[in-house]
Amino acid sequence: MKKHTYLVLGLLGFAALLTSCGNGNQGKGSSGALNSSNAEKVYVAPGEHDEFYAFMSGGYSGNLTVYGLPSGRMFKEIPVFSQFATSGYGYSEETKPMLNTSFGFVPWDDSHHPDISQTNGELDGRWIFINGNNTPRIARISLTTFETEEIIEVPNSAGNHSSSFITENTEYVVAGTRFSVPVPQADMPIKEYKGNFKGALSFISVDPEHGHMDIKFQILMPGFNYDLSHPGRGKSHGWFFFTTYNTEEANSLLEVNASQNDKDFIAAINWKKIEEYVNNGGGTKMPANYAHNVYDEHTHTATSVMRKEVLTVDPTKIPGAVFFLPTPKSPHGCDVDPSGEYIIGNGKLSADLTVHSFDKMIAAIEGKKFDGEAYGIPILKFEDVLAGTVKSGGLGPLHTEFDGEGNAYTTFFISSEVVMWKLGTWEVIDRKPTYYSVGHLMIPGGNSRKPFGKYVVAMNKITKDRYLPTGPELEHSAQLYDISGDKMELIYDFPTHGEPHYAAGIPAELLAPKSQKIYKLAENKHPYATLSPADARVVRDGKDVHIYMSTIRSHFTPDNIEGVKVGDKVYFHITNQEQDFDVPHGFAVIGANTSELLVMPGQTKTIIWEPKQVGVWPFYCTDFCSALHQEMQGYVRVSPADSNLELSWSLGE
Amino acid sequence: MKKHTYLVLGLLGFAALLTSCGNGNQGKGSSGALNSSNAEKVYVAPGEHDEFYAFMSGGYSGNLTVYGLPSGRMFKEIPVFSQFATSGYGYSEETKPMLNTSFGFVPWDDSHHPDISQTNGELDGRWIFINGNNTPRIARISLTTFETEEIIEVPNSAGNHSSSFITENTEYVVAGTRFSVPVPQADMPIKEYKGNFKGALSFISVDPEHGHMDIKFQILMPGFNYDLSHPGRGKSHGWFFFTTYNTEEANSLLEVNASQNDKDFIAAINWKKIEEYVNNGGGTKMPANYAHNVYDEHTHTATSVMRKEVLTVDPTKIPGAVFFLPTPKSPHGCDVDPSGEYIIGNGKLSADLTVHSFDKMIAAIEGKKFDGEAYGIPILKFEDVLAGTVKSGGLGPLHTEFDGEGNAYTTFFISSEVVMWKLGTWEVIDRKPTYYSVGHLMIPGGNSRKPFGKYVVAMNKITKDRYLPTGPELEHSAQLYDISGDKMELIYDFPTHGEPHYAAGIPAELLAPKSQKIYKLAENKHPYATLSPADARVVRDGKDVHIYMSTIRSHFTPDNIEGVKVGDKVYFHITNQEQDFDVPHGFAVIGANTSELLVMPGQTKTIIWEPKQVGVWPFYCTDFCSALHQEMQGYVRVSPADSNLELSWSLGE
């Protein structure tokens, strides 16, 4: 049994002590020969390029950010689950459907764990997936356009945290609930949680050609909290592993009440067995209501469809499909080494790491050596599946990745450090402090069969004095370690945007050559596209006015519009005629209750403007597009609601 | 007369040629001794701090970003005019009033020109101001909290571009319209623009103690476009200078039609004279309708008040107050050197820079040597006010700043370069390419009486191949030049977030020591604050349910709530009890049609949740706040609308 509250408070105090000590080691003016060589290691000179892409989750920004390594420079913020005024995502008519859910329009989410698509367990760089925690969703982002192409809501989930992780051939993106809830939802006393709530683990199939997602099945598990997960790989391909906490099934003050059991579980799921079961007609179709939102690259438009059914599976009905591996101290990280043999459970209130053996697990299952069951699911004996214990000397282990050279790297939140250790011998090889309170870490490819073990990025949760202060609210912070030598070497600090939790990295050479530069105008199938300035026009349909507008350096066609009336709903459909790389045009009109539009070459986007007052109102290009950008403007005349003025439009007349 | 379209197209072609050539100079693998020393110049080792803050406008992001120099690292994005899901700005009940306007709630704007408050013409680091272009507004941001504290709408303006620049003692923040419009607005044919539209230049007073803004007067100028502006300083303190273009008063195809006149004007405004005039009862009160939004630091809440009147001034009624200085080729930048003697007008379709002399201008005014008038405003003779011409050899000059050592630095958009030249002799000293198409530049303090001339930052509009590609949409890009030697030296490229147009820099030592760390709980006057967990409660008021909720590591009080019904409007008022630096808590609840809240220590924030379905729904902390952050969660039970269940709440029971 854990020692409850006092232990917990003690751990927090220890953390505070370590973080305040850490600072003293790093004073101003410590530069010298070492810093000079580190400077060269992280410096990417003008005209040169970084070696790796790092994709970092935005956490509470809801988005995904793209960094270069080793420079730590942020190249892009990709809007995913949150409205993004910069480009009009979630404001434009084309992208508003992306944020539709069964709860209506939801302009935000909490994005945690990006994972890059794989083929044979190696990064293939086609897509990156990320989870929305709060209103459970999974998004798929193209790594050709670096835009969000698809979002699927996850029903019966509530805190979509043990997500979004990819199986070895991207057969599935897996999404597990963090909070258990009544399934189906029901008005019931919260205190009846225990034994009545369920945790849904969703296996979402990914179409191999287009990447389209579809919920294949949901496993309705006992009412624990499901924290993180990873696929088996190599010999353990076909299995998926989830850490659990709150196996106590407490419904209040979890800080104390979910830290009572000495061991929680790692749930081992034989998804191939379940896939076979459902392919043979197993499972129960359950009424559901969840959004499936797809952005069409030809119409540049998203559509949202409500799905009405989901296939659920009772794990106790499929012998041999699900087992529990006892794992100490409320484990958080659940990581599988490149060989697929070792499953590392990081008990977040522990000093040691627990490493389970896949081979031993299979042997124990085959030998039916169970230690009872939980809600009908067999519990394996801890000793029977244990491969080894890493006596870390640290406190609060969270997440482990691998360098492909037989080494593992684990973050420790409470003792603020990264510990490097050896797979198989479990010996600690090196440890380096982090500033401060590190959460997850990332090695490019470090959770695949083929890691690129040159750098470790630590994602820290407390920034404090690392940078010039910016008032009470600070950016989060990452630290970059060179792991190309025998030991880890801290070489750089860089701030991170939003609250990055987790990251996925990939060598630049796997993505850069196929990065798309423009949208081809000839392939633009947007129903309101203006494919040539000669097609620009204004059309009235009752109180709706559709402006088919074209942009090219440096004018809008048309740029003088009359005949709009107060009470009209004016749709500006803007098509950018440019076909050169990096020549966007923007569009804004005074008083619009939405954002501007940033329209890339060949693209069409739409905003609605509802003029409230008569007058002559300007619009203009918001992107500094040419030497005559400031001249790229126009006017709309708005007449009274009862005016008889006919629509007219012109350019240069 | 300008040569119209063909010239224009020729210039664009030239730009394309230069930009594509530029790339060839910078190949991969060009590192060596030079790069090594540049690496050391920009490297800020872990634990060390940057030397300068750089505040960059977000352009179409609507926000303001904070960078460190020389590292180029982004420390914060401060939400100003745009909703920002990361912190809940523009989504929380407390901050929604900040985005109120006479057009209703406007969730976005186009932010261009930050300027730091000054005392005696030197940076004092109290506040930074920035303009919203699209729905004309000026914002004031605290440089203690790095949060937006006030936004005032600017009536009679339409494209608030020649803004927001500060007079020498922050007497005024000045906001000039870019587009002229009917004043007051009227339903009239667009082609009647010429002679009928007006351009309003607004002088907004700044309260010296709290910084509160109030429109003192608006000058109703002829219907030109007002592009940029700067205050006089030193001997020219009391004057303000605005570049104009489209003195042709064209209303369509400005690309061609506003490039006809060989010279447009710089408008010289003697604001002290106008201030005296209005203090003596001059000017005309005009009905208006504009929002004034103020964030109260004690209640943590913004209020929006509609103002109903503005004082306008007819410049022809005040002899000696306004003059026009002819300036070639559609000038953009309008910059005043540290001594206040030189006013530099950068004709954006020109090769040369025009430098006017303040002393000569005064002499010409006193000698009444006019060259006619425009709409009753005297035009000075070009030759009488000309101090000199910089024969730059470049094309498309945009913006000039100063190093305080007698040198000026001008960006050239078309020829993609920064040119360094000497004040007084007008000789070109150095030139360095930019990659690509530079807009504005910044030297910390470089538009004040006391520049800190160590670095120049060039803000480029085209990024193309500078970084690893990220699909069709790229971040913008800055380049950093070391100007501590005799020549400029390009030392770094760094991406910039949004579309930075303009920047303001300041030495770190002027801001860092006074940066606020927490909000004191004892000073929290939020009407729905929960100042102690013992005060946490849930109160029903008809269909409104107010949850007074407290957060501290690692639980919410209360964390189990029952008695909420479908159809209720639930207000979560979250107070963060922490009083340590950098310990925010976040709050999110499933299905909310708004963002999460990021609540800093001592702060209270509110979101509304309107549950649509019965069930037991989770909420949780969105900021990784402690080792037991994952345990920081709770549930709300939602019963049917006609349920008789009474409200109840608890923690740990």
pLDDT digits (tens, 9 = 90+) for A149-191: 999 999 999 999 999 999 999 999 999 999 999 999 999 999 9
Q: Is B594 on the interface with A (CB under 8 A)?
A: yes
Residue A419, C-beta contacts closer than 8 angstroms, at least 6 positions apart: A390, A392, A393, A394, A397, A409, A410, A412, A428, A430, A431
Q: Is the pLDDT reported for residue B194 higher than 90?
A: yes
Element (H, E) at A441: strand A438-442
Using 50, 70 and 90 to split pLDDT, how confident is the model at B33? low
Min Cα distance B362 → chain A (Å) is 31
Name the closest residue on chain A to residue B60, using Cα atoms.
A86
Question: Is residue A23 pLDDT above 60, yes or no?
Answer: no
Q: Which residue has the tokens 């039916």?
A: A368
What is the band of A448 on the pLDDT scale with cuts at 50, 70, 90? very high
Contact of B635 with chain A, judged by CB distance below 8 Å, is answered with yes
Amino acid (1-letter code) at residue A624: F
- A window 598-627, beta carbon within 8 A of B: 598, 600-601, 603, 612-618, 620, 622-627
* B559 min Cα distance to partner chain A (Å): 6
User: Are B103 and A593 an interchain contact pair (Cβ–Cβ within 8 Å)?
Assistant: yes
Query: A221-252: b or e for each residue (b if 16 or more CB lie within 10 Å)?
Result: bbbbbbbbbbbbbbebbbbbbbbbbbbbbbbb
**Cross-chain residue pair B190–A560, CB shorter than 8 Å:** yes
Closest CA to A572 of A621, A523, A612: A621
Contact B631 A245 (CB under 8 A): yes
Extents of the domains making up chain B: 54-245+267-514, 525-650
Cross-chain CB nearest to A470 (options B259, B515, B589) = B515
Give the per-residue pLDDT at A107. 98
User: What per-residue confidence (pLDDT) applies to B653?
Assistant: 85
Which residues in B lie closer than 8 A to residue A643 (C-beta atoms)?
A: 187
Instruction: Enumerate residues 276 to 315 of chain A having a beta carbon within 8 A of any beta carbon in chain B.
Output: none
Q: Compute the mean pLDDT over every residue in chain A, rounded to the nearest whole number.
A: 94
How much is the pLDDT for A174? Answer: 98
Mutation pick from A2, A38, A43 vs chain B, by most beta carbons of B within 10 Å, is A43
pLDDT at B9 over 70: no
ipTM value of the model?
0.95
Report the pLDDT value the prediction gives residue A86, as an integer from 0 to 100. 97
Size (chain A), residues = 653
Nearest CA-CA distance, residue B99 and chain A, Å: 10
Give the list of residues 6+ apart from residue B27 with CB closer than 8 angstroms, or none.
A47
Query: Which B-chain residues 151-190 have CB contacts (< 8 A) with chain A?
Result: 158-159, 161, 178-179, 181-182, 185-190
Section A360-387 average pLDDT: 97
pLDDT of A11 over the 70 cut:
no
Which residue type sits at B227?
Answer: D
* Segment A488-500 mean pLDDT: 97
Q: Residue B313: helix, strand or coil by DSSP?
A: strand
**Three-state DSSP state, A17:** helix
Contact A468 B179 (CB under 8 A): no
Q: Does B75 touch chain A (CB under 8 A)?
A: yes
The fold adopted by the segment(s) A525-650 is Immunoglobulin-like (2.60.40)
Cβ-based contacts under 8 A for chains A and B = 552
Are A159 and B471 within 8 A, CB to CB?
no
- Does A89 lie at the interface with B, CB-CB under 8 angstroms? no
How far is A520 from chain B, CA to nearest CA, in Å? 11
- Which among B61, B469, B472 is the nearest to A600, CB-wise? B472
pLDDT band at A32; cut points 50, 70, 90: low
Dihedral, CA atoms, A574, A576, A582, A588, nearest 10 degrees? -30
pLDDT over 80 (residue B576): yes
CB contact under 8 A, B464 and A586: no
**pLDDT of B309-333, one tens digit each?**
999 999 999 999 999 999 998 999 9
**CB nearest to B255's CB, from A227, A600, A631:** A631
CA distance B560 to A190: 7
**pLDDT tens figures, B127-151:** 999 999 999 999 999 999 999 999 9
Chain A residues touching residue B257 (CB < 8 angstroms): 652
Nearest CA in chain A to B460: A624
Which CATH code of 3.60.15.10, 3.40.718.10, 1.10.3720.10, 2.130.10.10 fits the domain covering B54-245+267-514? 2.130.10.10
Among A226, A243, A250, A259, smallest CA distance to A349 is for A259
Per-residue pLDDT band for B283 (boundaries 50, 70, 90) equals: very high
Residues of B in contact with A598 (CB under 8 A): 60, 473
The residues, any chain, with a CB within 8 Å of residue B279's CB and separated by 6 or more, are none
B399-434 pLDDT, tens per residue?
Answer: 999 999 999 999 999 999 999 999 999 999 999 999
DSSP class of residue A179 equals S
A260–chain B Cβ distance below 8 A for any pair: no
Q: Please give the pLDDT value at position B7.
A: 37
User: What pLDDT was estimated at residue B13?
Assistant: 38
For A180, which residue in chain B has the nearest alpha carbon?
Answer: B618
Burial label for B394, CB within 10 Å (0-12, 13-18, 19+), is: buried
A252·B559 Cβ contact <8 A: yes
With a pLDDT cut of 70, the percent of chain A lying above it is 94
- Nearest-Cα distance to chain B for A498, in Å, is 6
Determine contact: A69 vs chain B, CB below 8 A: no
Q: CA of B168 to nearest chain A CA: how many angstroms apart?
A: 25
Distance CA B160, CA B137 (A): 7
Interface check B559 vs A, CB under 8 A: yes
Residue A138 pLDDT exceeds 80: yes
If one compares B192 and A25, the residue with the highest pLDDT of the two is B192
Q: Is B633's CB within 8 Å of A159's CB?
A: yes
CA distance B309 to chain A (A): 17
Instruction: Check A110 against B588: CB less than 8 A apart.
Output: yes
* CB-based contact B187 A643, cutoff 8 Å: yes
- CA atoms of A285 and B258, how far apart (whole Å): 67
Q: What is the mean pLDDT of residues A381-390?
A: 97
User: Could you tell me if B111 lies within 8 Å of chain A, comparing CB atoms?
Assistant: no
Question: Distance from CA of residue A596 to its chain's centroid?
Answer: 25
pLDDT digits 0-9 by tens, B147-169: 999 999 999 999 999 999 999 99
Query: In the structure, what pLDDT confidence band is assigned to residue A653 with cuts at 50, 70 and 90?
Result: confident
Q: Output the pTM of the full model.
A: 0.95
What's the burial of B369, exposed, middle or buried (CB within 10 Å: 0-12/13-18/19+)? Answer: middle
Contact A12 B104 (CB under 8 A): no
Which pLDDT band holds residue B493 (cuts at 50, 70, 90)? very high
Please check whether residue B252 touches A, CB under 8 A.
Answer: yes
Q: Do A75 and B467 touch (CB under 8 A)?
A: yes
How large is the average pLDDT for residues B348-363? 94
Tokens encoding B471: 């699909």
Q: Residue A20 has what pLDDT?
A: 36
- Contact residues on chain A for B225, CB-CB shorter than 8 A: 630
Chain A within 8 Å of B363 (Cβ-Cβ)? no
CB-based contact, B551 to chain A, within 8 Å: no
How high is the pLDDT of residue A34? Answer: 66
Fold: same for A54-245+267-514 and A525-650: no
Residue B148 Cα, gap to closest chain A Cα (Å): 12
In this model, does residue B3 exceed pLDDT 60?
Answer: no
Give the residue from chain A lying closest to B228, CA to CA: A630
A592 Cα to chain B: minimum distance (Å): 7
Sign of CA dihedral B495, B497, B498, B502: negative
DSSP states of B589-646 as a string?
ETT-SS--EEE-TT-EEEEEE---S-EEEEEE--S--STTGGG-EEEEEEE-TT--PP
Interface test with B, best of A4, A21, A44, A73 (most B CBs within 10 A): A73
**Residue B375 in contact with partner chain A when CB distance is under 8 A:** no
Average pLDDT, stretch A268-273?
Answer: 98
| B627 contacts A15? CB cut-off 8 A | yes
- What's the rounded Cα separation, in Å, for the pair B42 and A42? 10
Model confidence band, residue B347 (pLDDT cutoffs 50, 70, 90):
confident
Residue of chain A nearest B9, judged by CA positions: A553
pLDDT in tens, A276-334: 999 999 999 999 999 999 999 999 999 999 999 999 999 999 999 999 999 998 999 99
Partner-chain contact A225 B630, CB within 8 Å: yes
